[in-house]
Amino acid sequence: MAAKHILACIDFSPQSTRALREVGEYARANGSKVTLIHIMDPQAFIPPQAVLEPKSPDDKETNEAELAKLRDEHLSGIEVDLAVVEDHAPARAICEYAEKHDIDLIIVGSHGRGGMERWLIGSVAERVVRHARANVYVVRR
């Protein structure tokens, strides 16, 4: 059974961007709607100099613009919504968004930004697989 609404999780890592190719192929083949979602940590460290700057790289508008750019580059001809959600628990936010918006399929990369962040918060993909009620497709590369 083809998914009618796909939630593609984007953390702006190279892997999540590459996953958009598979999202596009699936959506075009099945006539699926896609929502690109990015989870922002509202309590992320903000360097002192950023307070004086007009926009932070983690600014919601900046993230929406980046999602729009990815949509235009990879998902032309597909119905796409954009969502930037502020939450310190990405996996929970993804699962809650999926339930609230009747998502049939969640697509997530197996590894995101990685490094120390992965050791501190654990694997978002693993948590989404365990807790989501929708089907989850994990893109490895």
Sorted by where each begins, the domain ranges of the chain are: 5-139
Average pLDDT, the chain: 85
Q: Which two tokens stand for residue 117?
A: 């962040």
Answer yes or no: is pLDDT of 115 > 90: no
Which fold does the domain 5-139 belong to in CATH? Answer: Rossmann fold (3.40.50)
Which residue type is seen at 71?
R
pTM of the entire structure? 0.83
Return the pLDDT at 59.
86
Rounded Cα–Cα distance for residues 5 and 73 (Å) = 20
Share of residues in the chain with pLDDT > 70 (%): 79
Helix ranges restricted to H, the chain: 14-30, 60-74, 90-100, 115-121, 124-131
Lowest mean pLDDT among 32-36, 76-80, 116-120, 137-141: 116-120
Answer yes or no: is pLDDT of 104 > 50: yes
